[in-house]
Structure 1
Amino acid sequence: MHAVRVHEYNRRPSIDEVPDPEITEPLDVLVEMNAAGVCRTDLHIIEGQWAAKSGVRLPYIIGHENAGTVLETGSAVSHVHAGDTVILHPLVTCGLCRACRAGDDVHCVNSLFPGIDTDGGMAELLRTNARACVKLAPGLAPAQVAALADAGLTAYHAVRKAVPLLYPGTHVVLIGAGGLGHIGLQSLIALTPAEITVVDRSEEALRVATELGAHNTIAADGTQVEAVKDITGGKGAHVVLDFVGEGGTEKDGVEMTRDAGSYFVIGYGGALDIPTIDIISREINIIGNLVGSYTDLEELMALAAQGKVRLRTTTYPLDAALDALDDLDQGRIPGGRAILEPVKR
């Protein structure tokens, strides 16, 4: 099969011919890849940012936002069958450790993360396991939802954690309305009554945010912190969701957060430098967010089936994967997601 593989960090991947994966365990599921999201994390992988954390051996296949059609299953798989369309939770988990038994499968001690620490889905086939497979509702195509498997799931997970803080009369600021942010915005609208302000440097992303239902939009032109303070009566937001996490948004996000408020870090690449006395005296919360759980993904698929969360996508064939990565890197996909279609149905 053909696959997009990283051979060396800080060098462009290549599209290689590699052996097909095969069923080897009773809970294995072999999926024909109909859609693979192109994520900013893929760029960070290529840059080597994940090298130490993942421990992956090069070369390997990237792609961690995956959806497709079941081709074959192991002998113990009963809830999905050949021909079913599925979205794949990004983690392959054991189901036996304490975290899995508690429903916190994101922290499974035996997990694999296809596309991060093992071969992923920018290929014609992917082997995963039964615990990762969520069947798609009728009418949902893999290309419509693939990026919800990680970007959408991460955004939804953060919003889901913020929901108890966003009662009527509260204000939430969303920094970055691009590939993650526009999903987070729709999740906020679906789940909370809070007033929503979106901050982004892209006029197109702000236009899309308004169309989706944001109450206020602010251009990130250097005056964004003051603008948020003006909208919130000088107090700042109860919750700030930072879907960028680099390039100065970290500092802005903390400044936009009101005393006793919460700053959620979702995007990454930068660093936080906050005097501890400020954290104490303002009693602010700094909350990290990883990808969501299997149940988060099920809930997100329910919202997608109801039409409450939609992706804006640009599709590419597998042989144009490097173009998709370049377009993402150069900001040529504002307010949406790039999707590879390795095997188009």
Structure 2
Amino acid sequence: MKALRLHRYQQAPSMDEIDEPKVSGPWDVIVEIGAAGVCRTDLHIIEGQWAEIQKPDLPYTLGHENAGWVREVGSAVDNVKPGDLVILHPLVTCGLCGPCRIGQDSHCERASFPGINADGGMAELILTNARAVVKLDPSLAPSKVAALADAGLTAYHAVRKAASGLFPGSHAVVFGAGGLGHIGVQALAAITSAEITVVDRSESALELARTLGAHHTILATTDDAVRKGVRDITEGGAHVVFDYVGELGAEKISPQLLRNRGSHYVIGYGGAIELPTIEVISKEISVVGNLVGTYTDLVELMTLTAKGQVTLHTSEYPLDAALDALDDLHRGRVVGRAILVP
């Protein structure tokens, strides 16, 4: 089968012919890929940023945002059957360790992460397990939901964690309305009562955010313009800032937009947060890290998607054009999420 494989860091991956995966364990599930998302994390993987964290054996197949149809299952699998339409939680988890036992499966102690430390879904087939597959409403198409498996799930996870504090009259600021942020805006509109302000450098991204539920938008021309805009809208600062960028200065200005006892939710990455400790103490602000969401988060997100409350904006590419998709993402030419369709 065809698969986009990374052979060396700092070099473009290649489209290779490799053997199809086989069922070898009772909980195995093989999925025929209907769509695979192209994520900024893929660019960071190629650069080698995840090499020391995940330590994958090269070469391996990229792609951690996957949806498609069940092809084959192991002897113990009874939650899905061949032909079922599914989306894949990005982690293949054990179900037995401490974090899994309490529903924090995204911190599974024995997880593999297809596309990051194991063969992923930028291919025709992928091997996963029964714990990772979520059955989809038949009305949903893989190309319209695949990127929700990571980008959408991560965006939703942060909002879900903050939701109890986003009561009527509260202010949420979303920094970045791109692939993650435009899902975050929709999640905020769907499950909270917060006033939503979106900050971005792109007027087209802000225009999209307004159609998705943003009450206010701010064009990030300068840091001063952002600070003044947020101050005027929120009358004292945000209760929560969701930083879906995490670099390029967003990670530095985001904490400055908080009111006393506000929270800076960090979702994007690549930069470094610098905060005077006296400011953390005097304002009692919190900095909250956010990894990919749990299986339960993904089930909830798919429920919202089936109801039409969350919509993924995509640009589709054939699998053979994967390098074009990666280049377009790198150069900022993708609006929403790039999707590979075999």
Short-chain TM bin? over 0.9
- Runs of 5+ unmatched residues, structure 2: none
| Residue in 2 that maps onto 1:274 | 275
- Runs of 5+ unmatched residues, structure 1: none
CA offsets per residue over residues 162-210 of structure 1, 9 Å max, x none?
1011011100000000000000000000001110000000111000011
| Residue in 1 that maps onto 2:17 | 17
| Residue in 2 that maps onto 1:177 | 177
Q: What is the Cα deviation at residue 65 of structure 1? A: 0.3
Amino acid at match of 2:288: I
Amino acid at match of 2:248: G
Question: Which SS does the other structure have where 2:261 is aligned?
Answer: strand
Q: Partners of 1:225 and 1:188 in 2: how far apart?
A: 21
| Residue in 1 that maps onto 2:83 | 83
| Residue in 1 that maps onto 2:116 | 116
| Residue in 2 that maps onto 1:305 | 306
Amino acid at match of 2:317: Y
CA contact (8 A) 2:23 2:29 kept: yes
Q: What is the Cα deviation at residue 261 of structure 1? A: 0.2
| Residue in 2 that maps onto 1:152 | 152
Q: Which moved more, 1:150-159 or 1:2-11?
A: 2-11
After TM superposition, list the pairs within 5 Å mapping 1:134-153 onto structure 2.
Answer: 134-153=134-153
Q: TM-score, normalised by structure 1?
A: 0.98
CA contact (8 A) 2:85 2:138 kept: no
| Residue in 2 that maps onto 1:229 | 231
Question: Which SS does the other structure have where 2:187 is aligned?
Answer: helix
Q: What is the Cα deviation at residue 58 of structure 1? A: 1.2
Q: Partners of 1:51 and 1:135 in 2: how far apart?
A: 32
Question: Which SS does the other structure have where 1:15 is aligned?
Answer: strand
Q: Partners of 1:122 and 1:49 in 2: how far apart?
A: 20
Matched, 1:44 2:13: no
| Residue in 2 that maps onto 1:74 | 74
Once the two structures are aligned, what percentage of the paired residues are identical?
A: 64
Amino acid at match of 2:131: R
| Residue in 2 that maps onto 1:195 | 195
CA contact (8 A) 2:252 2:272 kept: no
CA offsets per residue over residues 36-83 of structure 1, 9 Å max, x none?
000000011011111110111111111000001100000000010000
Q: Partners of 1:164 and 1:330 in 2: how far apart?
A: 37
Question: Which SS does the other structure have where 2:117 is aligned?
Answer: coil
CA contact (8 A) 2:237 2:259 kept: yes
| Residue in 2 that maps onto 1:255 | 256
Q: What is the Cα deviation at residue 213 of structure 1? A: 1.8
Q: Which runs of 4+ in 1 moved over 4 A?
A: none
CA offsets per residue over residues 258-298 of structure 1, 9 Å max, x none?
11100000000000111212111111000000000000000
Q: Partners of 2:318 and 2:17 in 1: how far apart?
A: 16
Q: Partners of 2:128 and 2:184 in 1: how far apart?
A: 27
Amino acid at match of 2:191: L
| Residue in 1 that maps onto 2:165 | 165
CA contact (8 A) 2:60 2:118 kept: yes
Q: What is the Cα deviation at residue 330 of structure 1? A: 0.7
| Residue in 2 that maps onto 1:244 | 245
Q: Partners of 2:148 and 2:311 in 1: how far apart?
A: 9
Q: What is the Cα deviation at residue 18 of structure 1? A: 1.0
Q: Partners of 1:173 and 1:273 in 2: how far apart?
A: 19
CA offsets per residue over residues 79-108 of structure 1, 9 Å max, x none?
100000100000000111111111111111
Q: Partners of 1:309 and 1:165 in 2: how far apart?
A: 21
